[in-house]
Structure 1
Amino acid sequence: MTAENSSALVRCTDLTRFRLAPNPGPMSLDGTNSYLIAAAGHPGAAVVDPGPLDEKHLQELAAGSVELILITHRHADHTAGAARLHELTGAPVRAADPRHSIGEPPLQPGEVISAAGTEVRVVATPGHTSDSVCFHLPLDGPGGSVLTGDTILGRGTTVLDHPDGRLGDYLASLDRLEILGPATVLPAHGPVLPALDAVVRAYRSHRLDRLSQIRAALAQLGPDAGVPQVTDVVYADVDTSVRRAAENSVAAQLDYLRSLREPA
């Protein structure tokens, strides 16, 4: 789906639909997927990640009865429209970061929320950011589904927003998600994916491969090589539009390796 037809409401699973926000870019891919959760026949919906402060997009999300707004993490492409959607609907906003919660307490790890006629389980998944959470819908079809925010993307891999995002936390979050099995992956950017556990294993393998590349770069450049120098080696072909993201990921990986007291 492209920004031109982003107003279409797309069915993903039994319990979820989404609208694509008109904010495509190098980091947001086609744009932010703003999800609506609702059981069949239930009069209200929960919105996950309202996306940017775009009035048309928010009016479309507010067209039905919205009873709760949930946030996966603090980045503006997920949160900028939350306060306006609260104004339009009166629905409280809940996020792990208290600064983005309106009208109700912040989310707690392991919390089970009854909303939109179903059950939403809060899974703490720091790593992309320190406040990242995923929302597990165990009743959404045979394997359930998980709204993964930016912890798992529909295409490519996740950037660690170092120093707030840390690789050790992220690897632990992947372990936590893998336990949920072959749930449908509902990412905030990119297409829906069929099996969370398989995606997690691919993500973990990618991270470990990158760590091997970082070690090799340090062996070539010396133990005190800086982030720009290591990025030049490990991400030699990266586009300039995502250079900063690559440097953030390198910084997170260097921090992780040095925390293990490995010889650099």
Structure 2
Amino acid sequence: MKEPLRILAPNPSPLTGPGTTTFLIGEDHVAVIDPGPDDDAHLEAIVAQGRGRIGHIFVTHAHLDHSQGAARLSQMTGAPVLAFGTATEGRSAINARLAASGMIHGGEGLDMDFTPDIRLQDDQQITTPDWSLRVLHTPGHAAGHLCLAWGDTIFCGDLVMGWSSTLISPPDGDLIDYFRSLDRLRQLSPARLLPTHGAPIQDPLPRIDELARHRRDRTAQIMTALHQAPDTAEGLARRLYEVPEPLYPAAQRNILSHLIALTQLGAVDFQGNLTADSFFSIS
């Protein structure tokens, strides 16, 4: 297989790393994976490299840095947009209840205007004379997150990155789903992972194991802190993270995902209705 073409969007940040990498595969039948932000220069570069042969636009999940440019790229090329669904589809049962109640609002980067032309299902195969992609529904970072297997390479969106751990932000992110998705990737034993942010991961299994271990260690830290004193997700984030002030909201969301998972497992409890400001304690 020919190497995918990479086009880097001009949207670097603490959460996107160097920016969004848009991938193009195929010669006569070109597929775009994660068109990225709605940026004129970036979309024009994608169209130019597609040489009038773009026939599919895949979106791994409906976050603005991945999906915002999809609709305009579709208008520019005539190619359909393929994804799991809208920004809110596929939420786990507890997160769906939280969202419906209005108690917890995530929304970090959600592309609420995103609607794909074609909805993809887990284990679906999309094939052209140039390439074949196997669809993997891998929730955790986002409810509708997809990975795309291309031979022994997997385009992994934001599920696994080499430079950072993945943000899990309820009610759109789910830690239990994230562990399941990591385990699924591990069982597939890919030769290489291509995240949308950052460099390719050439030795995937140790990195997958490292990320799972990081989450288990964070869970242990949360339990130790709660044994010392009940606290909110924000309070725990302040006790456990040392990050620049603008990143504390993301840290709080990550902590909240652990607390929700621990609640589901019966290890911690809270009083009253579950909100982002709930006090959690050991059960």
TM over 0.5: yes
Does residue 29 of structure 1 match 2:14? no
Alignment of 1:68-147 (within 5 A): 68-98=56-86, 100-103=114-117, 105-115=118-128, 117-138=130-151, 144-147=152-155
CA RMSD of aligned residues (A): 1.4
Does residue 191 of structure 1 match 2:176? no
Post-superposition shift, 1:242? 1.5
**Are the equivalent residues in 1 in contact too, given 2:154–2:190 (CA < 8 A)?**
no
The letter of the residue matching 1:135 is L
1:36 and 1:117 map into 2 onto residues whose CA distance is 12
Post-superposition shift, 1:101? 4.3
Equivalent of residue 167 in structure 1, options 156, 166, 175:
175
- Equivalent position of 1:3 in the other structure: none
* Cα distance change of structure 1 residues 74 and 116 upon mapping to structure 2, 3 Å threshold: farther
- Unaligned 5+ runs, structure 1: 1-12, 139-143
The letter of the residue matching 2:265 is L
Post-superposition shift, 1:102? 4.2
The letter of the residue matching 1:95 is A
2:250 and 2:129 map into 1 onto residues whose CA distance is 36
Does residue 150 of structure 1 match 2:158? yes
2:222 and 2:256 map into 1 onto residues whose CA distance is 10
SS in 1 for 2:12: coil
The letter of the residue matching 1:90 is G
1:177 and 1:78 map into 2 onto residues whose CA distance is 21
- Equivalent position of 1:213 in the other structure: 221
Does residue 56 of structure 1 match 2:41? yes
Alignment of 1:247-258 (within 5 A): 247-258=252-263
Moved more, 188-197 or 67-76: 188-197
Post-superposition shift, 1:239? 1.3
* Cα distance change of structure 1 residues 22 and 48 upon mapping to structure 2, 3 Å threshold: same
Post-superposition shift, 1:100? 3.5
Does residue 233 of structure 1 match 2:235? no
The letter of the residue matching 2:132 is E
2:40 and 2:267 map into 1 onto residues whose CA distance is 50
**Are the equivalent residues in 1 in contact too, given 2:61–2:146 (CA < 8 A)?**
yes
1:16 and 1:81 map into 2 onto residues whose CA distance is 19
2:30 and 2:139 map into 1 onto residues whose CA distance is 26
**Are the equivalent residues in 2 in contact too, given 1:123–1:133 (CA < 8 A)?**
yes
- Unaligned 5+ runs, structure 2: 87-112, 269-281
1:81 and 1:163 map into 2 onto residues whose CA distance is 24
- Equivalent position of 2:101 in the other structure: none
Post-superposition shift, 1:137? 0.7
**Are the equivalent residues in 2 in contact too, given 1:45–1:68 (CA < 8 A)?**
yes
2:201 and 2:129 map into 1 onto residues whose CA distance is 23
- Equivalent position of 2:272 in the other structure: none
Q: Aligned residues, how many? A: 240
Post-superposition shift, 1:217? 1.1
Moved more, 25-34 or 194-203: 194-203
2:162 and 2:6 map into 1 onto residues whose CA distance is 14
The letter of the residue matching 2:35 is P
**Are the equivalent residues in 2 in contact too, given 1:31–1:189 (CA < 8 A)?**
yes
Post-superposition shift, 1:153? 1.3
1:171 and 1:252 map into 2 onto residues whose CA distance is 12
SS in 1 for 2:132: strand
1:246 and 1:112 map into 2 onto residues whose CA distance is 36
Structure 2 length as normaliser, TM-score? 0.81
The letter of the residue matching 1:36 is L
1:149 and 1:116 map into 2 onto residues whose CA distance is 24
